[in-house]
Amino acid sequence: MSADTRTKLLEGALRTVTEQGIAKTSARTIAAAAGVNQALVFYHFGSVDELLAAACRYGAEQRLAGYREGLSRVGSLAELLELGRNLHTEQRAGGHVAVLAQLLAGARTQPRLAPATAAGLALWIDEIEQVLARVLTDTPIAAFVDVPGLSRALAASFVGLELYEGVDPDGALAALDALEQLSGLVAVLEDLGPVAQRAVRAHLRRSAARRG
């Protein structure tokens, strides 16, 4: 029963943030959404902030679980971006983008939310990093890509696009299309002959040396 109550509170917290916003999220509103006594918020989590932090991790884990199989089958950067496009659509339809937006906003004024929000995002980043490491291994750019950095850049891009779509849906779609065009460039490089690939690598080395 205790575990069941905790789960109800976690799901109630996510539902409250989605429907009412973080400013109106309290022990009372969360307990009402969960259908339990509000004293149980403090019994199980100590504070509303701690409950929201746990709910952020819980929500990320629940959503990621539904995509792990698909991520494991990704064989190219284009396939990763296509999965990301589908994820983007489903997350917005499910209200998860609203939760993320509220938690990111809340983290600016409630410092305890920042590590939890970052930890929830890190779950996705770790999965993306594994996929990128696999699909880029045999590409001409493998030696020049900072895979951990690129995984964070992609995660940040999708977070930004999910929030940006609320004010400019067409612009968000154009940005997704631009990301897919980049994956097409990688495919073109893979089709180049060995001489052309060596020229590309040499150019990338010179560019890396200049940045260093």
Q: Do residues 104 and 155 lie in contact, with contact meaning Cβ atoms separated by under 8 Å?
A: no
Q: How far apart are CA 129 and CA 148, in angstroms?
A: 6
Q: Do residues 116 and 69 lie in contact, with contact meaning Cβ atoms separated by under 8 Å?
A: no
**Burial degree of 180 (CB within 10 A; 0-12, 13-18, 19+):** middle
Would you give the distance in Å from CA 40 to the centre of its chain? Answer: 30
Q: How far apart are CA 66 and CA 177, in angstroms?
A: 24
Could you read off the pLDDT of 6-65 as tens digits, one per residue?
Answer: 999 999 998 998 888 888 889 999 999 999 999 999 999 999 988 988 888 888 888 888
pLDDT of residue 205: 65
Can you give the pTM of this predicted structure? 0.72
Could you read off the pLDDT of 117-171 as tens digits, one per residue?
Answer: 888 888 889 999 999 899 888 777 777 778 899 899 888 877 777 777 778 888 8
Tokens describing residue 115: 């590590």
